Amino acid sequence: FFVSLPVVQPHRILNSFKALVLWLSMAAARRGFGAIRLTFPGIRRCSSQSGARILKSDERDIVFHFAVEEYFMNSAKITAPMMYLWRPDPVVTIGRHQNPWKECKLSDLQADGIQLNRRRSGGGCVWQDPGCSVFTFISPSDQFNIDKNLDIVLGALRRCGITGEKKGRNDMTFEGKKISGSAFRHVPDRKVSLHHGTILVNTAMTELQKYLTPDKRKLQAKGIASVGARVMNLVEQFPDFDHERLCDALEKEFREVHGLTLEGTPLEVIHADAPLTKEPGFQAVFDELNSDDWRLGRTPDFSHKMETRIDGIGVLDVQLNVVHGKIEDAVIFSDALFPEVISEATEVLKGVDYGGKTIRRALVSLQPHFTETGPRALLEALTNWLVAEVED
């Protein structure tokens, strides 16, 4: 006795089918049929056996969390989606290719003992503290889906009575104000992708405005006067909302979406002395992310400095050191969401004859490396703008 159903989303209706299976089993037994098998064409259910994982940590060192992310991105075997939940002590983090001297007030940070760290993902400058919860999704690149990840977060918020909305590619809002931002990273040779983002639960907004120096072109383009005018803490509207409640809702929503059970996929708690922290790869990246060289980057003697903001792309700040007609060194600061494009563009420009045609030729050579819409659009925008600036 077989029942075949059309293609559906089983994570939303599995519980309802338990009753259906029981009823059909009893009916089949009364009529003398054999065992019942329900089939769902085209559906594959994630389970603990497939490698899906849910992790959480109460550690507050943001470098620890970045090192955990890097461990999973570069060393661990990733066969299915995983979610990692955490929050840091007060810290300012900048994107992989941002200029720390332009993005924040370093002297104030140093005077107040606030840490500055650089992510390996793209995106902009962010103030984070224990009132800013963080979610990290890591999965094989062929299963990576930003919209699905954001839907999980929005579903978790709905479980808490909060109706958020997606805005653009990487933000979430509540009643028009930003409550979440995201950044992304891909490791092509391992075919692993990362999406991490923040939820403003009860962060110190005064500190956010004190330490950050946002690009005025971003604010003008959005028609706003300050960072504080466009963001909000969820506790302003939902006083009982907190980090633990959010984590509990995210865990439940992730399980439901991926068809996981509590017994089959238990919550894993990551401590500072967890086995993965003893791995050589973890310690090496932890030390690197803590170094001043990584945090502050290099500042060559620039002979040509160009800046712009391109709608839908982000801010581009290119600084070239030209010696004897050749680009001896290049630095590109950007909050664009595809750091791999910025990294490869920076390298390919070194040693190139200074001029529009040669710069275009160098950047166009990268096109076969970036075939997806987002990275390709960033590369084309960077190429056209930089060539125009140099030829101007």
37 Cβ neighbours under 8 A, 6+ residues apart: 2, 3
Q: Is the pLDDT of residue 8 over 60?
A: no
- Alpha-carbon distance 153 to 133, whole Å? 12
Mean of the pLDDT values across residues 99-121?
85
How far CA 190 is from CA of 204, 205, 288, 340, 372, in Å, comes to: 38, 38, 21, 14, 17
Do 100 and 94 touch, CB atoms closer than 8 A?
yes
The pLDDT confidence band at residue 217, using thresholds 50, 70 and 90, is: low
pLDDT attached to residue 122: 83
**Which pLDDT value is given to residue 138?**
98
Strand extents, DSSP E, 311-381: 314-323, 326-334
Tell me: the pLDDT tens digits for 146-165? Answer: 999 999 999 999 999 999 99
Dihedral of CA atoms 211, 215, 216, 217 in degrees, nearest 10, equals -160
pLDDT attached to residue 222: 54
Q: Is 312 left (phi over 0), alpha (psi -120 to 50) or beta?
A: left
Could you report the per-residue pLDDT of 253-301, keeping only the tens digit for each? Answer: 999 999 999 999 999 999 999 999 998 889 999 999 999 888 876 554 5
* Highest-scoring range by mean pLDDT, 113-122, 148-157, 312-321, 380-389: 148-157
For the entire predicted model, the pTM comes to 0.69
pLDDT digits (tens, 9 = 90+) for 298-356: 554 557 888 999 999 999 999 888 886 789 999 999 999 999 999 999 999 999 988 88
Chain Cα centroid distance, residue 180: 11
* Cβ atoms of residues 205 and 231 within 8 Å: yes
Q: What is the DSSP string of 108-127?
A: HHHHHT-EEEE-SS-S--EE
pLDDT for the residue numbered 354: 81
Cβ(39)–Cβ(67) below 8 Å: no
Provide the 10 A C-beta neighbour count for residue 253.
Answer: 21
- Quote the pLDDT of residue 227: 52
Distance CA 236, CA 65 (A): 28
Residue 336 CB neighbours (<10 A) = 27
pLDDT, mean of residues 7-28: 47
The confidence score (pLDDT) of residue 24 equals 53
First-to-last CA distance in the chain?
75
Output 38 or 372, whichever has higher pLDDT: 372
Q: Which of 103, 99, 314, 318 is nearest to 212 (CA)?
A: 103
d(Cα 204, Cα 230) in Å, to the nearest integer? 14
pLDDT band at 50 (very low <50, low <70, confident <90, very high): low
Distance CA 302, CA 98 (A): 16
- Distance (Å, whole) CA 293 – CA 67: 16
